[in-house]
Structure 1
Amino acid sequence: MTTEKKVKVQLIKSPIGTKESHRATVRGLGLRGINSTSELEDTPAVRGMINKIAYLVKIV
């Protein structure tokens, strides 16, 4: 059994007024309202999504 690394992200800024693709990325990460958190597997794809919307989220 492998221990998968996890990364926890929190939405700290509203995606209102941002690009449609950035709003879609926020939803793709499982984030809803401000201060919502999501725990995800630490994969290159997830890291890329976090980097794309780094100005909206923080890693907890």
Structure 2
Amino acid sequence: MNQIVVTQVRSAIGAKPKARGALRALGLGKIGRSHTLPDRPEIRGMLRKVSHLITVQEIPGEAGDAQTA
């Protein structure tokens, strides 16, 4: 599974409450703080909500991580 490194680059002061909540849920809260998260749809939705406050870097995962049914 791919990983995403999210870094906060702008302040949440003046941001809407839902955007501040999304930052907290992503493990951020201060400028310069980074957090590594799994690349899942619910995480992508939160990233979309606060895209003006963060930068995102993708880290490709290994091919052997996929589960077979």
- Decide: shared fold, TM above 0.5: yes
Aligned mate of 2:30, from 22, 33, 57: 33
Identity %: 33
Q: What is the TM-score normalised by the length of structure 2?
A: 0.79
Q: List alignment gaps of at least 5 residues for structure 1.
A: none
| Regions of 4+ moved over 6 Å | none
Deviation at 1:32, TM superposition (A): 2.1
> What's the secondary structure of 1:24's corresponding residue?
helix
> Given residue 28 of structure 2, which amino acid in structure 1 is its aligned partner?
L
> Given residue 30 of structure 2, which amino acid in structure 1 is its aligned partner?
G
Q: What is the TM-score normalised by the length of structure 1?
A: 0.90
Q: What is residue 52 of structure 1 aligned with on the other side?
A: 49
Q: State yes or no: 1:14 paired with 2:11.
A: yes
> Given residue 36 of structure 2, which amino acid in structure 1 is its aligned partner?
E
- Figure out how many residues of one structure are paired with residues of the other and give that number: 57
Greater C-alpha radius of gyration: 2
Deviation at 1:5, TM superposition (A): 1.2
Q: List alignment gaps of at least 5 residues for structure 2.
A: 58-69
